[in-house]
Amino acid sequence: MDIKAVLDNLYASRSTRHLANDPLSFCHRFGAPEDREIAGLVASCLAYGNVKIILRNLGEVFALTGPSPRRFVERFEPQEGLRRFAGFKHRFNDGRDLCALFLAARTMIEEADTIGDFFLGCHDPHAVDITSSLTEFSAAVLAFDYSPVFGTDAIPADSYFSFFFPSPASGSACKRLCMYLRWMVRPADGIDLGIWKGVSPSQLVIPVDAHIQRICRHLGFTKRKQADWRMAREITAALRQLDPADPVKYDFPLCHLGISEGCDGTVQPLCRECPVVEFCRAGAP
């Protein structure tokens, strides 16, 4: 069996157990697309660090936003939000950063009705991938007025809000934004949501976290060592050879070899049962 057949089988084997162990699961709590895109923005922005802590902290956030994230954002008032989320902390992001994120979402929907339509205003449908679109999108969001949250014209130096909106222009792998785009753009398949219709799945770039970085190096999809934008594009180019229309379909199942199945890059008993072992430089006999 060739690598494409193996990865297609891996894609078909995704399960609700994998989804339950993923920040994307919070989007599935809501039925309306307008709620899902807001939930997805928040969930993806906080999707860094230990998975259990991510899921716990997201649970706390969505318990406070109520049954409709869209309605919460439409009515969001920074001063009330600062009181509501005063004790929030997720690693180095705090309640102020979270409130700035809600203000950013409110501003986007005030300007374009949906986050998806705001992103389309930054998007080049003729580009090979989303490099220029993400660069413009992040710059536009960071240019909003956040003084109602921070009390200053500029985002203060002790805030990590800008961490939510990195740019390919800086070399960042933009993992969380690429993940958000995957959730929104890829066709609805029980995992991803297929909400945004104006971006082609063929233009997506794979979100490179520690699992994708390690597994894709072992599978020979990249020779780079640093998890940066060049690595993300290199891995995506390799996957595009397998599925030109939808290269990032393989992200979720490959990532969950690490998140849910326990792959840590060392040879262990798990390797004998791994579906990609014959192509893996770490586990192959």
- pLDDT truncated to tens, each residue of the chain (285 aa)? 799 999 999 999 988 889 999 999 999 999 999 999 999 999 999 999 999 999 999 999 999 999 999 999 999 999 999 999 999 999 999 999 999 999 999 999 999 999 999 999 999 999 999 999 999 999 999 999 999 999 999 999 999 999 999 999 999 999 999 999 999 999 999 999 999 999 999 999 999 999 999 999 999 999 999 999 999 999 999 999 999 999 999 999 999 998 888 888 776 777 878 888 888 887 655
Is the sign of the CA dihedral 58, 62, 68, 72 positive or negative?
A: negative
d(CA 185, CA 167): 19
Question: Which two tokens mark 38?
Answer: 């807001």
Q: Report angle CA 252, 253, 254 to the nearest 5 degrees.
A: 95
In the beta sheet, which residues pair with residue 93?
Answer: 90
Give tens-digit pLDDT for 193-241.
999 999 999 999 999 999 999 999 999 999 999 999 999 999 999 999 9
Determine phi and psi for 201, rounding to 5 degrees. Answer: -55, -25
pLDDT at 262: 81
Query: Are 23 and 43 in contact, with CB atoms under 8 Å apart?
Result: yes
Read off the pTM.
0.95
Condensed to tens digits (0 to 9), the pLDDT of residues 266-277 reads 767 778 788 888
C-alpha closest to that of 103 among 51, 53, 147: 147
Say what the pLDDT of residue 285 is.
54
Check if the beta carbon of residue 239 is closer than 8 Å to that of residue 252.
no
Provide Rg for the chain, Cα atoms.
19
| Long-range contact pairs involving 139-142 (C-beta distance under 8 Å, separation at least 24) | 139/167, 141/104, 141/108, 141/165
Contact call for residues 178 and 238 (beta carbons, < 8 A): no
Long-range contacts of 131-135 (CB under 8 A, 24+ apart): 131/168, 131/205, 131/229, 131/233, 133/199, 133/203, 134/167, 134/168, 134/174, 134/177, 134/178, 134/181, 135/167, 135/168, 135/169
Q: Can you give the pLDDT at residue 158?
A: 95
A 10 A CB-CB count for 222 gives 22
